[in-house]
Amino acid sequence: MTTTKNNYLFGLIAFVVMIVVNFGLWRLFFAPSNGVFKLFTPMYGLSLAAFYFYAVILVADVFGWKNDTGNVAKGIAPLITSGVVFLVLYYVFFWNILGTYGITYFSPQAQIATGGTGLEIWNARENSSLAILFVVTALIWVTMIWNVGFGDSPWDGLKKSTVGFSKFFATAFISIIFYAIFFHPNITALFLPKQIFAGVLPWWEGMAMTASSFYHLGWMFAGLFVIMFLNDCVDGFPFNLFRNEERSGSWIGAIVALVVSVVGGYILMYIAEAVMSYYWFEPFTGGNYTDDPRFRHVHTAEIAAFFMLALMIVKVFFNNVFQPANRWLAAIVRLVVVSAVGMLIYFFYYSETLGPKFVDRVPGIGNLDDTSLCWTIMSMAIILAYDKFFNAFPIRK
């Protein structure tokens, strides 16, 4: 009994410390008015936060470099490694190798060197940041589906480095395909004239009422929440049905994870946008702010990210609330708690006082230049690094 109370007490203390760290890092790197570096422009800051989140996933869940002990010092090396991986991939690989010698739109400097219409440093960096954001979204989405469906299969039992490199190249290859289909056409359509021979015109425009890939961002983030909830709050059901002592996953499990993510993502996006239409009426092509279909889609991703953050808070800091013997009772209670915490985060961010004061944002809602995804993903990256690299010390010892 004492241990449980202490764990929840430590969880509350650690959560308060996380809030302080969150505030400090946001003010240092991202806050657009009162920050130091002011990287929130917003796509540049968002792509940085998302890429570091992927770097933590890559180090911890792909290469399996986690700290499962109470020794805090053991978390320093993987933490530094995740930072180095992030910096090397973002600035060296995308900006100075792939963007310079392969695909121009990944590098702001390479775009400016072309001398195209409207290409100056701010627009060029926003365009390259949007492209990198879409790449890393595909990477995160595919990697999470792989982890819950395949696990370490078909390389179970091999060295961690072998498993890690195999999973990385497999997920990267698949991610390239998804990126080319769902995101690349949007980026090629940004330029004047549209690069119709480099990428097809956005094929989803008719059903999404926009050429923006924010449409895909919406259902993918919603699908990630479904995957995370099933894996973390429902003991991995139904994916654990396809695992055993010899293998951590299978093709069937991966297909189930993919179907659950896509179908669940579309269902949640439909529900979220139906609620938006109830309050703000139907969106229309050419609409501004809350009437803009692009905003409705990216707002779905923002809402899903709030719930993903809530899920991580409940799981890491408060041990998924409680541990009853009945899995489905636990799932229902956790869903209620995660939903409540997610809505609290939503109202906090979009409040007229607390949100602007904490994250240095302009009051109001519906501005595409003020997406909450940057702050939310940064918060998730902090918690994930704390959980994976420091074993949520001192909550778990």
Q: What is the band of 240 on the pLDDT scale with cuts at 50, 70, 90? A: very high
Cβ neighbours of residue 39 closer than 8 Å, sequence gap 6 or more: 29, 30, 45, 48
53 C-beta neighbours (distance < 10 Å), count: 22
Element (H, E) at 331: helix 327-349
Of residues 260, 238, 234, the one with CA closest to residue 329: 234
More confident residue, 173 or 114: 173
* Residue tagged 């953050």 (tokens): 309
Within the chain, where are the H helices?
2-25, 43-57, 76-87, 99-101, 108-114, 121-149, 160-182, 184-188, 205-208, 214-233, 251-280, 293-318, 327-349, 354-359, 373-390
More confident residue, 368 or 275: 275
137-167 residue pLDDT tens: 999 999 999 999 999 999 999 999 999 999 9
Statement: residue 3 has pLDDT above 50: no
73-84: average pLDDT: 97
Burial class (CB within 10 angstroms; exposed 0-12, middle 13-18, buried 19+) of 374:
buried
119-144: average pLDDT: 95
335-359 residue pLDDT tens: 999 999 999 999 999 998 888 889 9
119-148: average pLDDT: 96
Q: What is the band of 67 on the pLDDT scale with cuts at 50, 70, 90? A: very high
Handedness of CA 53, 56, 59, 64 (dihedral sign): negative
Q: What is the band of 323 on the pLDDT scale with cuts at 50, 70, 90? A: confident
DSSP symbol at 12: H
Statement: residue 4 has pLDDT above 50: no
**Helix-helix angle 293-318:251-280, to 10 degrees:** 120
pTM for the whole structure:
0.96
88 C-beta neighbours (distance < 10 Å), count: 12
163-212 residue pLDDT tens: 999 999 999 999 999 999 999 999 999 988 888 899 999 999 999 999 99
| Average pLDDT across the chain, whole number | 94
Share of the chain above pLDDT 70, in %: 98
Give the pLDDT of residue 369. 82
358-395 residue pLDDT tens: 999 888 899 888 899 999 999 999 999 999 999 999 99
10-24: average pLDDT: 96
